[in-house]
């Protein structure tokens, strides 16, 4: 029995329930991606290249093991195989399946994948990038509370026309962020049973259309007291995009490096790019939203 979903512009037929995703229309036709549960070689890909202690690539195949959770195999940009460890909960499998694994598939489909979130502002897309722990999801939640819609959180695929492609209507929020933004966590499911981090569905605040990326902000923080926005210009525009590519090492392992550099260059040529530095702690998240919105208006 397959469940039909859509995400990133793809129809996904899955043996595994993926309640974070939107349901797809059953009359849509052949799915773009299938997700099945089958056995996967336990020790990587024979004849392939090991690109991490837990990941292998071989031609069009990508193999990933999350210890004590599951093994995953992504092939031909269209098939995902999941091989969960005995006794593991489905939520834990889904966290990695919807993150790194779907990410690898999107790489295989030729997207530039940015590590950040995508927000609709005046029919265009604002993207905030940064590593884990820089407050991307919290910022996305703050935009939602202000009435804005998100296209994606964590992984932002950018297509050949420099448009951000919508993912699915879900944020992952830590308890502290949820409290700060007054998103009650009663009744929400944890992303994994033992983590104080919640799946926050945002169906009414989801933008389901691909939108041209207009503004890209690199999130940073330091020990100063104020929020600063510094435009990034000239030759310096390329490196931050490359550095904030989602799972850059995977992409390089998948031999997509030249294509990736080209995509970063094209995007760098089209967007308003700036570094946003905010205080490491004790700052006003709404103030940050205001500053970003003001900067988008100024940049046009």
Q: Which residues bind other proteins (CB under 8 A)?
A: 51-55, 64, 66-68, 95-96, 99-100, 131-134, 174-177, 191-192, 194-197, 222-225, 247-250, 279-282
Residue 55 or 274 having the CB closest to other proteins = 55
Least distance in angstroms from the C-beta of 229 to other proteins: 18
Least distance in angstroms from the C-beta of 168 to other proteins: 16
Residue 157 or 253 having the CB closest to other proteins = 253
Do residues 143 and 183 touch, judged by C-beta distance below 8 A? no
Residue 217 or 250 having the CB closest to other proteins = 250
Residue 66 or 207 having the CB closest to other proteins = 66
Task: Report the C-alpha dihedral over residues 81, 171, 155, 62, rounded to 10 degrees.
Answer: -20
Do residues 6 and 35 touch, judged by C-beta distance below 8 A? no
Least distance in angstroms from the C-beta of 292 to other proteins: 20
DSSP line for 35-91: EEE----TT--TT-EEEETTEEEETTEEEEEETTTEEEEEETTTEEEEEEPTT--HH
Both tokens of residue 248?
């850059």
Do residues 125 and 213 touch, judged by C-beta distance below 8 A? yes
In DSSP terms, 190 is beta-bridged to 198
Residue 29 or 53 having the CB closest to other proteins = 53
Least distance in angstroms from the C-beta of 253 to other proteins: 9
What are the backbone angles phi and psi of residue 227, rounded to the nearest 5°?
Answer: -85, 130
Residue 122 or 176 having the CB closest to other proteins = 176
Least distance in angstroms from the C-beta of 171 to other proteins: 13
Least distance in angstroms from the C-beta of 66 to other proteins: 6
Both tokens of residue 118?
């995508």
Sequence-separated (6 or more) residues with CB below 8 Å from residue 142: 181, 285, 286, 288, 289
């Amino acid at each position: 029995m397959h469940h039909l979903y859509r995400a990133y512009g793809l129809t996904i037929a899955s043996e595994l329930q993926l309640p974070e995703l939107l349901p797809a229309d059953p009359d849509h036709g052949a799915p773009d991606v299938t997700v099945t549960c089958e056995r996967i070689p336990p020790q990587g890909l024979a004849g392939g290249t090991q690109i991490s202690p837990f990941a292998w690539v071989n031609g069009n195949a990508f193999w990933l093991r999350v210890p004590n959770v599951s093994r995953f195999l992504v092939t031909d940009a269209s098939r995902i195989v999941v091989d969960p460890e005995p006794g593991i909960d489905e939520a834990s499998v889904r966290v990695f399946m919807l993150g790194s694994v779907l990410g690898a598939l999107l790489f295989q489909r030729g997207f530039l994948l940015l590590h950040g979130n995508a927000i609709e502002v005046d029919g265009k897309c604002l993207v905030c990038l940064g590593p884990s722990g820089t407050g991307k999801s919290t910022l996305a939640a703050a935009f939602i509370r202000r009435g804005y819609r998100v296209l994606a959180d964590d992984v932002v695929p950018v297509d050949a026309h420099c448009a951000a492609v919508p993912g699915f209507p879900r944020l992952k929020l830590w308890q502290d962020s949820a409290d700060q933004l007054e998103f009650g966590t009663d009744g929400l499911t944890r992303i994994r049973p033992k983590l104080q981090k919640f799946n926050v569905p945002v169906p009414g605040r989801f933008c389901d259309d691909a939108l041209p990326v207009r503004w890209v902000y690199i999130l940073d923080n330091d020990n100063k007291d104020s929020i600063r926005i510094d435009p990034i210009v000239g030759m310096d525009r390329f490196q931050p995009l490359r550095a904030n590519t989602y799972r850059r090492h995977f992409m390089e392992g998948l031999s997509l490096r030249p294509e990736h550099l080209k995509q970063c260059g094209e995007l760098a040529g089209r967007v308003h790019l700036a570094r946003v530095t905010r205080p490491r702690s004790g700052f006003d998240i709404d103030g940050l939203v205001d500053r970003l919105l003001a900067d988008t208006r100024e940049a046009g």
